[in-house]
Amino acid sequence: MLAPHHKSALDRMHGVGKFRPREATENTAGEPKRVWTSLITNTKYLSGLITLDYSLKKQGSKYPLIALYTDTFPEEGKQALTARGIPARRIEYLLPSVPKAYANDPRFYDCWSKLVPFSLTEYDRVVQMDSDMLVLKNMDELMDLELDPPEMGGDGDKVFAASHACACNPLKKPHYPKDWVPANCAFTSQHNAPDQAQKEGASALAGIACPNGGLQVVNPSKGVYDKILETLQNETLTASYEFADQSLLGERFNGRWVPIPYVYNALKTMRWKGVHDAIWRDDEVKNMHYILSPKPWDETIETTADESHKWWITTNAERLEEERAKGIEKGF
């Protein structure tokens, strides 16, 4: 949902752009220093976020998931999070100074706000995840992945970590960039080395050299976030970003991010025959990402044609059963 106002990113820094000194928060009793976060702006994705939280706990993660919500998120959604013990934090809705029109993909209006975790300097490590994800294996090792220290301010070679975006455009969406074809996809470059693809990402400069914004491993940093805010003020640049946050990160930090293997952000389309089934292995996937429509919560076991959707539907059913036993009304 597009925010009702179009203030500049710098004007909207209240709540997300005030940087507290790291020393002031290191000794806070009980305060987690490494967290998962997920952006939520409406209740349409709330079942996804709640099941994401459930799947992280099911797989034994030591770290909490914090829901980052904007003012577009209604009170009933906050109550649903509270009932399930999911911590929540209000953030400002983030937009470029001149918002880009995403008539074909309105979801991208929300995606700029996925850059906010770069500002959360009270944490040592934030792993931002989309709410349409399902954790199938523990991946706490992402909390220890080597990245540039915050004081480098985005000038190093390991600014953040992510998996590549898939540039195959298997649904042949006409508004996608013309260079989004299999030959220009970083994952295509791994087809001849499927064993390696389970453990290593292709070079950050492979293919279109763009990360997928669904999972970002971040050492929050004032210097990095200042660079992001500065970029959001550049109308010429933001007008060229077809995929919002991930386009900004790919362009602003070109080749200076750590590519992690697809298993941490396994796009459901990659599993389809003729896309990247050459490297896909069900038993290696740690985190499914249900990009595009339909979402698994819009289907049933009987109606879905996508095997991976059944994984989410089954996990969600387990979650609902446990909630009923605890006296939590279904709701979402």
Residue 170: CATH number of its domain: 3.90.550.10
DSSP 17-34: S-PPPGGGTTT-TT--SE
Look up the domain containing 217 and give its range.
Answer: 22-294
Across 152-168, average pLDDT? 98
Q: Which of 21-25, 160-164, 292-296, 309-313 has the lowest mean pLDDT?
A: 21-25
Q: Tokens 């009932």 appear where?
A: 83
Across 188-201, average pLDDT? 98
What's the pLDDT band for 13 if we cut at 50, 70, 90? Answer: very low
What's the pLDDT band for 302 if we cut at 50, 70, 90? Answer: very high
Q: Phi/psi at 257 (nearest 5 deg)?
A: -135, 160
Number of compact structural domains in the chain: 1
pLDDT recorded at residue 329: 81
Q: pTM (2 decimals)?
A: 0.90
Q: Tell whether the model's pLDDT for residue 3 goes beyond 90.
A: no
H-run or E-run covering 218? strand 215-218
Each residue's pLDDT tens digit, 251-275:
999 999 999 999 999 999 999 999 9
List C-alpha distances in Å: 186 to 158, 164, 259, 285, 320: 18, 7, 10, 18, 38
Each residue's pLDDT tens digit, 142-153:
999 999 999 999
Q: Tell whether the model's pLDDT for residue 30 goes beyond 70.
A: no
d(CA 75, CA 52): 20
Q: Which of 91-100, 201-210, 242-251, 278-287 has the lowest mean pLDDT?
A: 91-100
Can you state the angle between helices 244-252 and 222-232, rounded to 10 degrees?
A: 110
Each residue's pLDDT tens digit, 47-84:
999 999 999 999 999 999 999 999 999 999 999 999 99
Strands 258-259 and 160-162, by their bridges, are: parallel
Residue type, position 222, single letter:
K
What's the pLDDT band for 108 if we cut at 50, 70, 90? Answer: confident
Q: Does residue 38 belong to any structural domain of this protein?
A: yes
Q: Does residue 15 belong to any structural domain of this protein?
A: no
Q: Tell whether the model's pLDDT for residue 4 goes beyond 50.
A: no
Terminal-to-terminal C-alpha distance of the chain:
20
Q: Tokens 């995606």 appear where?
A: 111
Q: Which residues pair with 34 in a beta bridge?
A: 125
Q: Does residue 4 belong to any structural domain of this protein?
A: no
Q: Which residues pair with 205 in a beta bridge?
A: none
Q: Tell whether the model's pLDDT for residue 18 goes beyond 80.
A: no
Q: Tell whether the model's pLDDT for residue 9 goes beyond 90.
A: no
What's the pLDDT band for 17 if we cut at 50, 70, 90? Answer: very low
pLDDT recorded at residue 106: 62
Task: List the structure tokens of 254.
Answer: 């070109």
Q: Does residue 317 belong to any structural domain of this protein?
A: no
d(CA 282, CA 81): 30
pLDDT recorded at residue 11: 39
d(CA 270, CA 249): 22
**Of 262, 254, 19, 36, the residue nearest 159 (C-alpha):** 254
pLDDT recorded at residue 28: 46
Percent of the chain residues topping a pLDDT of 90: 86
pLDDT recorded at residue 60: 98
Q: Tell whether the model's pLDDT for residue 171 goes beyond 70.
A: yes
What's the pLDDT band for 23 if we cut at 50, 70, 90? Answer: very low
d(CA 208, CA 66): 31
Q: Does residue 134 belong to any structural domain of this protein?
A: yes
Q: Does residue 86 belong to any structural domain of this protein?
A: yes
DSSP 161-198: EEPBPP---TT--TTS-TT-SGGG-TTGGGTT-HHHHT
Q: Does residue 308 belong to any structural domain of this protein?
A: no
Query: What is the CA angle 3-4-8, rounded to 5?
Result: 70
pLDDT recorded at residue 318: 98
Residue predicted with more confidence, 272 or 105:
272
H-run or E-run covering 55? helix 46-58
Q: Does residue 172 belong to any structural domain of this protein?
A: yes
d(CA 249, CA 115): 9
What is the chain's alpha carbon radius of gyration, rounded to the nearest angstrom?
19
Q: Phi/psi at 128 (nearest 5 deg)?
A: -80, 130
Across 100-127, average pLDDT? 87
What's the pLDDT band for 109 if we cut at 50, 70, 90? Answer: confident
Task: List the structure tokens of 300.
Answer: 């049933």
Across 94-120, average pLDDT? 85
